[in-house]
């Protein structure tokens, strides 16, 4: 079951939720047809619940948004750490431990 603490981003809310965020942001770029993305989803949901109120955890469906193109996303899943509007790191692929390592960049 998806976490209520995950924010779903689109072209309309990206700036307000990420670029102007007063909290660090973890973004999961995914698609419904992507098996590795679906496999990573429980990790993203767990992080969202664990860090609720401390960081924003967001998801971008690459088929429904132009945001991925702006960040040069060419394969999915990609999880990106952003703080103060600046990308601090990214993980390409279904690597839950590496995704959790990104959290260290957001502290």
Percent of the chain surpassing pLDDT 90: 93
In this structure, the chain runs to a length of 107
- For residue 78, the model assigns a pLDDT of 98
Q: Report the CATH number at residue 24.
A: 3.40.30.10
Residue 84, domain member (yes or no): yes
Residue 1 lies in a domain: no
What is the percent of the chain where pLDDT is above 70? 99
C-alpha–C-alpha distance, residues 31 and 77, integer Å: 8
Burial of 93 per CB tally in 10 Å (0-12, 13-18, 19+): middle
With respect to residue 36, please indicate whether it lies within any of the assigned structural domains: yes
21-65 per-position pLDDT tens digit: 999 999 999 999 999 999 999 999 999 999 999 999 999 999 999
HEC per residue, 9-43: ECCCCHHHHHHCCCCCEEEEEECCCCHHHHHHHHH
Domain annotation covers residue 68: yes
Point out the residues that are catalytic: 34, 37
* Total of domains in the chain: 1
Record the pTM. 0.95
- 4 pLDDT above the threshold of 90: yes
Q: Which residues of 35-64 are buried (b: 16+ CB within 10 A; e: fewer)?
A: eebeebbebbbebbeebeeebbbbbbbbee
Domain extent at residue 92: 6-105
What pLDDT was estimated at residue 107?
Answer: 85
Using CA atoms, how far apart are residues 68 and 53, in angstroms rounded to an integer? 25
What's the pLDDT score for residue 48?
97
Query: Domain for residue 53, yes or no?
Result: yes
Q: Is the pLDDT of residue 1 over 70?
A: no
What pLDDT score does 99 carry? 96
């Amino acid at each position: 079951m998806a976490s209520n603490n995950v924010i779903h981003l689109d072209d309309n809310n990206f700036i307000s939720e990420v670029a102007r965020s007063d909290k660090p942001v973890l973004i999961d770029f995914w698609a419904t047809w992507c098996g590795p993305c679906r496999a990573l989803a429980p990790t993203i949901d767990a992080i969202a619940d664990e860090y609720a109120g401390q960081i924003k955890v967001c998801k971008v469906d690459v088929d429904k948004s132009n945001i991925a193109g702006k960040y040069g996303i060419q394969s999915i899943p990609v999880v990106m750490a952003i703080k103060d509007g600046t990308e601090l790191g990214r993980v390409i692929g279904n690597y839950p431990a590496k995704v959790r390592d990104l959290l260290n960049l957001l502290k």
